């Protein structure tokens, strides 16, 4: 089985990639930084991936979307699982956001998953067990002050994922949306240095959900996981 994971150079994407490697998936890893991706390639091979390839690409560039799919298929021979995890956040009052910032965040968080799904569809249709997992966020449902651009982009991804799931259902493609609250990664360290990492959801918990989704059997499907921190934030 072959998986393409964006945002695989660190954080949640890296942890998901290594979980999939341990399940025996061949993995194609996307991020901007070649050196960090190469390190994850080595980790994935050590974790059990029969093959692992690094595809450095800036998903802020729309042309990268079809390119990463075609290079994955060339390298691995097909595509069974797509995990759209790359993302970037932006903090600040909506009064200060610029059109350039808005475009940059939307390009990576909303446009890239949309056009990667579009490019991947013909390959996924050839798979016996095609799955797409989009990593959005609780901010794709809720509104928190000073996260207007980030939240808007994740609402866009959430909306797209719901429509995409319906449109590809006739082809037997399972589509899942995972919407985590704060996860202990560099992203949160940069946005919320006031929160201790041990107070946050761990990236391994998200990877466990991915493992569950790709290994479970049965005719029922699970559309989405909305994961909030257990302590302190009930009904936030």
Nearer to ligand NAP, 116 or 127 (CB): 116
Residue 26: helix, strand or coil by DSSP?
strand
Nearer to ligand NAP, 35 or 218 (CB): 35
CA 119 – CA 130 distance, rounded (Å)? 14
**Beta strand 26-31 pairing with 2-6:** parallel
Long-range contacts, stretch 71-74, CB < 8 angstroms, 24+ apart? 71/28, 72/2, 72/4, 72/28, 73/123
Q: Which residues bind ligand NAP (CB under 6 A)?
A: 7-13, 31-33, 36, 57-60, 85-89, 108, 135, 137, 180, 182-183, 185-188
Q: Least distance from C-beta 162 to ligand NAP, angstroms?
A: 17
Nearer to ligand NAP, 130 or 180 (CB): 180
* Helix and strand element counts for the chain (H, E): 8, 7
Is 150 designated active site?
yes
Q: Least distance from C-beta 96 to ligand NAP, angstroms?
A: 20
User: With contact defined as beta carbons under 8 Å apart, do 83 and 3 qualify?
Assistant: yes
Nearer to ligand NAP, 87 or 130 (CB): 87
Could you say which of 144, 150, 226, 230 is catalytic?
A: 150
Q: Least distance from C-beta 125 to ligand NAP, angstroms?
A: 25
Residue 93: helix, strand or coil by DSSP?
coil
Q: Least distance from C-beta 204 to ligand NAP, angstroms?
A: 12
Residues with a catalytic annotation lie at 150
């Amino acid at each position: 089985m072959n998986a393409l994971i964006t945002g695989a150079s660190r954080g949640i994407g890296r942890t998901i990639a290594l979980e999939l490697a341990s399940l025996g998936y061949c993995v194609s890893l996307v991020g901007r930084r070649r050196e960090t991706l190469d390190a994850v390639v080595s980790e994935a091979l050590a974790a059990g991936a029969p093959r692992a390839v690094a595809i450095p690409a800036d998903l802020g560039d729309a042309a990268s979307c079809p390119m990463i799919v075609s290079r994955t298929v060339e390298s691995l021979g097909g595509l069974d699982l797509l995990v759209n995890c790359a993302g970037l956040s932006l903090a600040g009052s909506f009064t200060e956001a610029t059109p350039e910032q808005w475009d940059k965040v939307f390009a990576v968080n909303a446009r890239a998953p949309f056009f990667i799904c579009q490019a991947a569809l013909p390959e996924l249709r050839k798979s016996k067990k095609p799955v797409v997992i989009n990593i959005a966020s609780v901010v794709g449902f809720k509104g928190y002050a000073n996260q207007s651009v980030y939240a808007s982009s994740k609402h866009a991804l959430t909306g797209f994922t719901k429509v995409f799931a319906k449109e590809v259902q006739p082809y037997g493609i399972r589509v899942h949306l995972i919407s985590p609250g704060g996860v202990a990664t560099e992203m949160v360290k940069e946005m919320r240095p006031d929160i201790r990492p041990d107070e946050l959801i761990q990236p391994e918990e998200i990877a466990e959900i991915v493992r569950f989704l790709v290994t479970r059997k049965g005719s029922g499907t699970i559309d989405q996981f909305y994961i909030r921190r257990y302590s302190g934030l009930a009904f936030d």
